[in-house]
Structure 1
Amino acid sequence: MADNEIFQYSIVSALMDGVASHGTPISRVLAHGDHGLGTFRNMVGEMIVLDGEVYQMKADGTVVHVADPERTVTPFATVTRFRPSVRTRAALQGKAGLAGLLARLFPAARNHFLAVRLDGVFRLKVRTAGGQAEPREGMVSVASRQTVHALDGVKGTVVGFRCPEYVMGVNVAGDHFHFISEDRQKGGHILELETEGEVEVAAAQMSRFHLELPTEDDEFNEAELKLQAQGIKDVEG
């Protein structure tokens, strides 16, 4: 795949229906991108792909580097070969501040995708999911047991995407970001975000989207996959 094209395995609605027992080796995902996010088999923890390396951020607050992506499976992931077209510095107050900045940087991208990376010092509230308690447990139920961590004055990197409204259910409409600390010891799915001073902002607008659906997966084949827009919004914060 070319730079700044999205590759996605499976869809968010599948996670909502608890389709997470199987998936694809992360190595196949990495063949399409070096920047992204997702989850792991049975929704155990949050995934961040940073500079081609994959990390699993767990509910107990620990972070594991995925050293063998050939043997580690993801039921959902979104990646791109990230080559920023815009770079700037900015201080951000809340997720709304980041949303406003991206709207100003890309005024013609309302119905396109954005890939985003922030580097600097942050104050954050992040969540990590502990995983399914039983097969086919849906994401709303899994998220009800999520662990929330407050990170104050932590240097690190934010990775993620802005997706247009029309892909809700296929992906997460709006902004979806994960964080990992510079020492690779802390991180998670971002619920709240502020910066301490200015941070480095890098972003790219994208117009090509490649979707691969699970095959030979009874869970996926049997799932209703009806849009649960409010449930997705509640889970993703």
Structure 2
Amino acid sequence: MSRLTAQVCDCPVHVANAFQRYHQETGEGEIYQTSLMSALIAGVYEGTTTIKELLEHGDFGLGTFNQLDGELIAFDSEVFQLKSDGSANRARHEQCTPFAVMTWFKPEIELPLVRPVSREQIHQIVNEFAPSQNLFCAVRIDGEFNFVRTRTVPKQERPYRPMVEVVEEQPTFTFENAKGVVVGFRTPEYFTGINVPGYHEHFITDDRLGGGHIQEYQVKSGKIQIGRVSKLFIDTPTTVDFLDANLNPEDIQAAIEKTEQ
């Protein structure tokens, strides 16, 4: 175990390593995804998949809502809408999403976080316990945060602009000394355009009144749970917007990096 993990985790080293070895080649679970990230980049902001249907495919996930009306965060079979004013509300089952990722959360590793840890250090911990970058990881953090900086794209109206233009107007928020939950996924780089490569994380406060798409954070204390996922099911839309969209632009990686900042 590296010095980093030893500093933030007081769990027995041999137990954590045993978990890692046991699951080195298994990777259970399946991710359900509706639509593609490249479609969202292209301005396909309306889908037909409902929140009720999402919950039939998992109890944990993230995404957005039709017209980019807020960020979506799901855990413990509850779905919340994180709005562009920084607020949060429970999502209605009839609401629809143009892009979302869900899974049945089955953590293989649980580690206590007993000292301040940055977002970059959290990612290093995940990479250490799930060393192969070729599999998905579902990551959940419950704890107290020194700060969490978020952003949320405001609701859009037709004619829809490309997402790289929309994010230039996104408001940002900072939650200080806040207790809450981080829901995230680590996606392999080779899924660029299909999903968001690297880490994609959303945050909601414990009182369920605020949150957003994460830009940065520092955990003060809490716990992290990690689950490896080896299967992906993609439900591609059949709407006119999706069928007419350019889903393979030359600058897709740069566009995703800009929209995920």
Spell out, residue by residue over 1:58-104, the C-alpha distance to the aligned partner (whole angstroms, 9 max, x if none): 111211101x31x2100000000001010011245332111111111
TM-aligned CA deviation for residue 148 of structure 1: 0.3
Aligned positions of 1:108-147 closer than 5 A: 109-122=132-145, 123-147=147-171
> TM-score, normalized by length of structure 1?
0.93
- Name the larger-Rg structure: 2
Note if contact 2:47-2:99 (Cα within 8 Å) is conserved in structure 1: no
Does 2:55 align with 1:33?
A: no
Q: TM-score, normalised by structure 2?
A: 0.85
Shift of 1:138: 1.7
Paired with 1:148 and 1:171, the residues of 2 have a C-alpha distance of 23
**Residue of 201, 204, 217 corresponding to 2:224:** 201
Determine the structure 2 residue equivalent to 1:59: 84
Partner SS, residue 212 of structure 2: strand
Letter in 1 for 2:44: V
Structure-2 separation of matches of 1:98 and 1:146: 25
C-alpha distance after superposition, 1:5-36 (max 9, x if no partner)? 10000000001110013331121111000000
Measured in 2, the distance between the counterparts of 1:44 and 1:231 equals 20
Structure 1: segments with no counterpart, 5+ residues: none
Q: Residues of 1 paired with 2:67 and 2:157: CA distance?
A: 9
Runs of 4+ in 1 over 3 A off after TM superposition: none
In the aligned structure 1, how far is the partner of 2:116 from the partner of 2:42? Answer: 35
**Do the aligned partners of 1:33 and 1:82 also contact (CA within 8 Å) in 2?**
yes
Q: Is the 8 A contact 1:23 1:76 kept in 2?
A: no
Contact 1:7 1:79 in 2 (8 A): yes
Cα drift, residue 117 of structure 1: 0.2
* Residue 130 (structure 2) pairs with residue 85 (structure 1): no
Q: Deviations over 1:104-159 (max 9, x none)?
A: 1112x211000000000111100111022433322112211111001111001000
Task: Tell me the number of residue pairs that the alignment of Structure 1 and Structure 2 aligns.
Answer: 230
The structure in which a higher percent of residues are helix is 2
Q: Secondary structure at the match of 1:234?
A: helix
- Correspondence for 2:198: 174
Q: Which runs of 5+ in 2 are unaligned?
A: 1-27
How far apart in 2 are the matches of 1:58 and 1:65?
A: 11
What CA distance in whole angstroms lies between the structure 1 residues aligned with 2:161 and 2:83? 18
CA distance in 1, matches of 2:46, 2:87: 22
